[in-house]
Amino acid sequence: MLTGKHILLIISGGIAAYKSLDLIRRLKERGAGVRCVLTAGGAQFVTPLSVAALSEDAVFQDLFSLKDESEMGHIRLSREADLLVVAPASADLMAKMAAGLADDLASTIMLATDKPVLIAPAMNTKMWEHPATQRNMRTLQDDGVTAIGPGQGDLACGEVGAGRMSEPLQIVAAIESILIGQVTAAPLQGRRAIVTSGPTYEAIDPVRFLANRSSGKQGHAIAAALARLGADVVLVAGPNNQPSPPGVAVRDIESAVQMLAACEAALPADIVVCAAAVADWRVAGEAEQKMKKDGSGQPPALALVENPDILATLSQLNGGRPSLVVGFAAETEKVVDHGQGKRRRKGCDWIVANDVGPGTGVMGGDENTVHLITSQGVEDWPTMSKDAVADALARRIADHFAVG
Ligand code: CTP
């Protein structure tokens, strides 16, 4: 699959560097040429000898090495590859890339390259979740860098959470979709999509809010799937713990009103998918100070006002309506009937209806059983992972534009 493709693999510091040795092997098996750069941190975890033996090439380590520069200058190193892959991408190297620093060979190559870049972040959960890393991630994505992972799970440091480097075969798949997808697999190239995801938080006072249990898994997976098919995706997301999907511009919001404003700011778009679980109501007159018990034993009365309906608003835009608007209907009974009613009421084109009744495990779970309701009828899809539902929906959207 990758015969004739040249990959420059940058291995930065992190325990996940051991997986990069397997990544080299997998890429070589598929016919790719792999040349490696090992940072000083990376060399603490894997040896240059292992990397050289597996890649069957010299390993480059030093910006100021006369030998390396005479054999292959860093500019050539950055330009001769078809794709630059940073795996593992440490928090430190990501920060350097986001800031445009160039104080070692790896960061200098990243600044000098004109080739696509894929990063596979790997670090401790707290480091990944730190606002600085998340900010750097957004900057890198805005700069056109594609990211894969990190995944969730047990980390080498003993903690559990987001931060595990994606598995070598997942990274290979991402590499194939970038290198081969450049030619073939981007049916949504040139299409703009807006996806809403996650819950909304509606403030009661500065410390309390109304919310719901949405995890954001399905919406984030849809944004990632549309981006994999080449769409230019803006993901408007309420508070969630999902990793930022690769190649997607994320707009973080809290309330329904902010979600609508962010969607409107992201227009024009060809495709809208409203997967967020938007709170139907917000508190009228949010308190400016924390509400205190007054000693009377009487709870305060909370007056609620209805939130704007983002799906209905975008479906009913006069002028500039996206040509395909897709909503979700999470129902506990009469799933298809309620879904059809919702499609008519809100004025959207398709509804993805799913059963969230007790015992289905859908809220926060990894699987989903959905029915796609269109003007043509109802398709019953088998139970699939949320990722597979996202892929199927993205392909269905691509087919719609191919035919339309
Ligand atoms: N939605 C939205 N903005 C809202 C409420 C819902 O964009 N303020 C979208 C959701 O993202 C989803 C769809 O509308 O795509 C269905 O949401 P739901 O809350 O189930 O619809 P309701 O109109 O609240 O219907 P009901 O209360 O009868 O379930």
Q: How confident is the model at residue 216 (pLDDT cuts 50, 70, 90)?
A: very high
Do 154 and 28 share a domain, yes or no? yes
Does residue 376 lie within any of the structural domains?
A: yes
What single-letter amino acid sits at 330? A
Do 246 and 366 share a domain, yes or no? yes
Does residue 154 lie within any of the structural domains?
A: yes
> Two tokens at 274?
């409203």
* Confidence check: pLDDT of 357 > 80: no
Q: Whose CA is nearest to atom 27 of ligand 1?
A: 280
Does residue 185 lie within any of the structural domains?
A: no
* Confidence check: pLDDT of 148 > 60: yes
Do 86 and 235 share a domain, yes or no? no
Does residue 292 lie within any of the structural domains?
A: no
Q: What is the mean pLDDT of residues 87-109?
A: 96
Tell which residue, 367, 366, 364, 369, has the closest CA to residue 352. 369
Name the least confident of 135-144, 168-177, 230-239, 385-394: 168-177
Q: Kindly report the backbone phi and psi dihedral angles of residue 384, in degrees, each rounded to the nearest multiple of 5, phi listed first.
A: -140, 165
Q: Whose CA is nearest to atom 24 of ligand 1?
A: 280
Instruction: Choose which residue among 220, 235, 236, 309 to substitute to test ligand 1 binding: the one with the highest number of ligand atoms within 8 A of its C-beta.
Output: 309
Do 165 and 202 share a domain, yes or no? no
**Number of domains comprising the chain:** 2
Decide the pairing of beta strands 271-274 and 209-210.
Answer: unpaired
pLDDT at 181: 63
Does residue 187 lie within any of the structural domains?
A: no
The CA distance from 66 to 244, in Å, is: 40
pLDDT at 155: 76
pLDDT at 183: 43
Cβ-proximal residues to 373 (8 Å cutoff; 6+ apart), any chain: 329, 336, 339, 340, 343, 350, 351, 352, 353
Does residue 197 lie within any of the structural domains?
A: yes
Do 241 and 120 share a domain, yes or no? no
Do 14 and 39 share a domain, yes or no? yes
Q: What is the mean pLDDT of residues 84-104?
A: 97
Does residue 253 lie within any of the structural domains?
A: yes
| Torsion sign, CA atoms 374, 380, 386, 388 | negative
Number of H helices, E strands in the chain: 14, 22
136: domain CATH number is: 3.40.50.1950
265: domain CATH number is: 3.40.50.10300
Do 274 and 392 share a domain, yes or no? yes
Given a contact cutoff of 8 angstroms between Cβ atoms, the answer to whether 378 and 371 are in contact is yes
pLDDT at 71: 64
Cα 2 to ligand 1 centre (Å): 44
Q: Kindly report the backbone phi and psi dihedral angles of residue 372, in degrees, each rounded to the nearest multiple of 5, phi listed first.
A: -95, 120
Do 198 and 98 share a domain, yes or no? no
Query: Which residues form ligand 1's pocket by a CB distance below 6 Å?
Result: 196, 256, 274, 276, 278, 280, 307, 309-311, 327-330, 342
Cα 135 to ligand 1 centre (Å): 30
> Please, what is the average pLDDT of the chain?
91
Given a contact cutoff of 8 angstroms between Cβ atoms, the answer to whether 253 and 276 are in contact is no
Cα 329 to ligand 1 centre (Å): 7
**What residues form DSSP beta bridges with 331?**
355
Cα 278 to ligand 1 centre (Å): 7
> Two tokens at 268?
């024009």
Instruction: Choose which residue among 328, 337, 354 to substitute to test ligand 1 binding: the one with the highest number of ligand atoms within 8 A of its C-beta.
Output: 328
Given a contact cutoff of 8 angstroms between Cβ atoms, the answer to whether 152 and 164 are in contact is yes
Cα 82 to ligand 1 centre (Å): 44
Of 145, 180, 215, which residue sits at a domain end? 180
Q: Whose CA is nearest to atom 14 of ligand 1?
A: 311
Q: Is 31 left (phi over 0), alpha (psi -120 to 50) or beta?
A: left
Of 154, 180, 206, which residue sits at a domain end? 180
Cα 204 to ligand 1 centre (Å): 21
Cβ-proximal residues to 275 (8 Å cutoff; 6+ apart), any chain: 195, 196, 197, 218, 219, 222, 328, 352
Do 330 and 387 share a domain, yes or no? yes
Question: DSSP per residue over 289-345, as a string?
Answer: S-----SSSPPPPPPEEEPP-HHHHHHT-SSS--SEEEEEEEESSSHHHHHHHHHHH
Instruction: Choose which residue among 280, 317, 348 to substitute to test ligand 1 binding: the one with the highest number of ligand atoms within 8 A of its C-beta.
Output: 280
Structure confidence by residue, pLDDT tens digits, 164-210: 898 888 888 889 888 876 544 578 989 999 999 999 999 999 999 99
Q: Whose CA is nearest to atom 12 of ligand 1?
A: 328
Do 171 and 263 share a domain, yes or no? no
Do 75 and 208 share a domain, yes or no? no
Does residue 372 lie within any of the structural domains?
A: yes
| Residue 351 Cα: closest atom of ligand 1 | 15
Catalytic residues: 157
Of 153, 180, 207, which residue sits at a domain end? 180
Q: What is the mean pLDDT of residues 314-330?
A: 96
* Confidence check: pLDDT of 379 > 90: no
Q: Whose CA is nearest to atom 20 of ligand 1?
A: 329
Cβ-proximal residues to 116 (8 Å cutoff; 6+ apart), any chain: 82, 83, 84, 144, 146, 178
Structure confidence by residue, pLDDT tens digits, 263-305: 999 999 999 999 999 999 999 988 899 999 989 999 999 999 9
Q: Kindly report the backbone phi and psi dihedral angles of residue 3, in degrees, each rounded to the nearest multiple of 5, phi listed first.
A: -60, 135
Tell me the H-state helices in 30-104.
Answer: 48-55, 66-71, 74-79, 91-99
pLDDT at 363: 61
Structure confidence by residue, pLDDT tens digits, 247-261: 899 999 999 999 999
| Residue 275 Cα: closest atom of ligand 1 | 11
Do 167 and 227 share a domain, yes or no? no
Given a contact cutoff of 8 angstroms between Cβ atoms, the answer to whether 330 and 336 are in contact is no
Tell which residue, 306, 354, 350, has the closest CA to residue 330. 354
Q: What angle do CA 266, 397, 118 make, to 5 degrees?
A: 65
Q: How confident is the model at residue 72 (pLDDT cuts 50, 70, 90)?
A: low
pTM of the model: 0.60
Domain of 341, in residue numbers: 192-287+298-403
Tell which residue, 127, 45, 125, has the closest CA to residue 94. 127
Decide the pairing of beta strands 377-380 and 370-374.
Answer: antiparallel
Q: How confident is the model at residue 361 (pLDDT cuts 50, 70, 90)?
A: low
* Confidence check: pLDDT of 63 > 60: yes
| Residue 327 Cα: closest atom of ligand 1 | 15
